[in-house]
């Protein structure tokens, strides 16, 4: 990954993470996951462009779901805590977005590294 590509990925991933974190401020269980998936879908499509590739929205959605599952399986305590925290006033509005931001960041960099390999770092 070139320095320019890394910089672009950094901006894309952080923007998606902040968007997902904002969506997780809503204290409705399940709403945050929907926002996370939407943010990850857009992030995946944008990351593909960084590496000279292009993926259809349906593929990006599938990638987002798969990556979210893998991230949750690797960090189950964080995922469960984020969902449970929604039921706790004020604390849930702090913990939920923080966990979402961390998970989107981790997933985003995993996707970026994979796309760098898949598209040959073009």
Of the chain, the end-to-end C-alpha distance in Å amounts to: 9
Using alpha carbons, list the distances in angstroms from residue 6 to 17, 74, 104.
16, 24, 16
What integer pLDDT is reported at residue 103 of this predicted model?
84
What integer pLDDT is reported at residue 82 of this predicted model?
59
User: Is residue 3 very low, low, confident or very high in pLDDT (cuts 50, 70, 90)?
Assistant: very high
When comparing pLDDT for 118 and 81, which is higher?
Answer: 118
Region 38-58: what's the mean pLDDT? Answer: 90
Choose among 33, 18, 118: nearest CA to 67.
Answer: 33
Total-model pTM: 0.78
When comparing pLDDT for 93 and 9, which is higher?
Answer: 9
H-type alpha helices, the chain: 3-23, 31-50, 57-74, 76-85, 91-118
């Amino acid at each position: 990954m070139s320095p320019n590509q890394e910089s672009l990925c950094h901006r894309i991933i952080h923007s998606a993470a902040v968007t997902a974190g904002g969506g997780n401020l809503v204290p409705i269980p399940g709403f945050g996951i929907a926002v996370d998936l939407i943010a990850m879908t857009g992030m995946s499509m944008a990351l593909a462009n960084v590496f000279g590739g292009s993926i259809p929205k349906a593929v990006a959605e599938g990638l987002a779901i798969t990556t979210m599952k893998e991230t949750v399986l690797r960090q189950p305590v964080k995922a469960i805590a984020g969902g449970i925290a929604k039921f706790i006033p004020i604390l849930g509005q702090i913990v939920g977005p923080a966990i979402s931001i961390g998970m989107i960041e981790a997933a985003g960099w995993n996707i970026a590294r994979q796309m760098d390999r898949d598209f040959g770092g073009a």
